[in-house]
Amino acid sequence: MTAIPVLMGVVNVTPDSFSDGGRWLEPDAAIAHGRELIADGADILDIGGESTRPGATRPLVEEELGRVIPVITELAAGGAVVSVDTMRAEVAEAALAAGATIVNDVSGGLADARMPSVVAEAGATYVAMHWRAHADHMRDFAVYDGPGGVVAAVRDELAARVDVLLAAGIAPDRVVLDPGLGFAKHSEHSWTLLHGLSVIQDLGYPLLVGASRKSFLGRLLATGGTPRPVELREHANTALTVLLAQQGVWGLRVHDVRAARDALRVLERLDQEAPDDR
């Protein structure tokens, strides 16, 4: 039996995300988009106000709060399970007060040392992603020369974050890890990580994976050296959705929730067949 992963639908309330920048910047548009993702089959809405595209500059904390809090308040009040995609403890705190129950921190607590204690205090679930540096200079950190390469480095660096999270009082069953595809990683690193995912799973925590629309898919599907445009990478992500579900990941962070849900429904349906019916 395949354990069906949870689907986290992305709501980027940003002017500059690489995948959908500017489309949902107005609160009403973001809220409507969130509702659409729920109707498409999202289990969680991941609401973020800071773009992490390579080279992006950071918004002010007030800007980030102004983008995400009205959207979180409305969607959580409507019954959605909400995660806040933020690296800032102040934003996480306000989001949890507004109804979010999950903090998705792409820096795994490295960007803001207060983050783990804020999450511990709230008893929230914490997604800790593998991260080395902010978007404006993360490319400089895409070097994995140690023994075991990128897979061992990500495993060891995530394990070190887990130690910090548990020491801050986050319960072990509230921790989710994420290999951070595309963050301080060249395309080959992301593929190697996907291939070696079981090594990260061996740390014993549920895994969330965000492959949707990322540049390693665009490069794979390039024509004549031009990466496939962001909106045409969906079928490749659907293939990964099935493969990652079969590998037992806990969750998938996706933009096109309907495509991912359809793929998971196919898996679920096949699992219903008893072996002697085949």
Instruction: By CB under 6 A, tell whether 17 contacts ligand PMM.
Output: yes
Q: Does the active-site annotation cover 214? A: yes
CB nearer ligand PMM, residue 77 or residue 80: 80
CB nearer ligand PMM, residue 73 or residue 104: 104
Q: How far is the CB of 251 from ligand PMM (least distance, A)?
A: 9
Catalytic residue from among 214, 219, 233, 261? 214
Q: Does the active-site annotation cover 253? A: yes
Of 2, 4, 16, 19, the residue at the interface with ligand PMM (CB under 6 A) is: 19
CB nearer ligand PMM, residue 57 or residue 77: 57
**3-state SS class at 139:** helix
Looking at beta carbons, which residue is closest to ligand PMM?
210
Instruction: By CB under 6 A, tell whether 206 contacts ligand PMM.
Output: no
Q: Could you write out the DSSP letters of every residue in 67-128?
A: HHHHHHHHHHHTT--EEEE-S-HHHHHHHHHTT--EEEETTTTSS-TTHHHHHHHHT-EEEE
Q: Could you write out the DSSP letters of every residue in 177-226?
A: EE--TTSS--HHHHHHHHHTHHHHHTTSS-BEE--TT-HHHHHHT-BTTB
Of 181, 184, 193, 257, the residue at the interface with ligand PMM (CB under 6 A) is: 181
> Which one, of 256, 267, 266, lies nearest residue 8 by Cα?
256
Strand-pair partners of 7: 252
Instruction: By CB under 6 A, tell whether 106 contacts ligand PMM.
Output: yes
Binding piece for ligand PMM, criterion CB under 6 A, among 17-25, 159-167, 193-201, 268-276 = 17-25
Number of residues that make up the chain:
278
Q: Between 213 and 252, how does the x/- string for binding to ligand PMM read (CB under 6 A)?
A: x---------------------------------------
| 77 phi/psi in degrees, rounded to 5 | -65, -30
CB nearer ligand PMM, residue 82 or residue 275: 82
Beta pairing class for 208-209 and 102-105: unpaired
> Which one, of 84, 90, 145, 152, lies nearest residue 117 by Cα?
90
Q: Between 20 and 59, how does the x/- string for binding to ligand PMM read (CB under 6 A)?
A: --------------------------------xx------
Instruction: By CB under 6 A, tell whether 127 contacts ligand PMM.
Output: yes
**Token duo for residue 64:** 């980030």
Instruction: By CB under 6 A, tell whether 208 contacts ligand PMM.
Output: yes
Instruction: By CB under 6 A, tell whether 174 contacts ligand PMM.
Output: no
> Which one, of 190, 111, 206, 110, lies nearest residue 154 by Cα?
190
Q: What is the C-alpha to C-alpha distance for residues 248 and 228, in angstroms, rounded to an integer?
A: 28
Of 7, 12, 81, 98, the residue at the interface with ligand PMM (CB under 6 A) is: 12
Enclosing H/E stretch for 176: strand 175-178
The residues that touch ligand PMM, with contacts defined as CB under 6 A, are: 10, 12, 17-19, 52-53, 85, 104, 106, 127, 129, 178, 180-181, 208, 210, 213, 253
Residues known to be catalytic: 214, 253
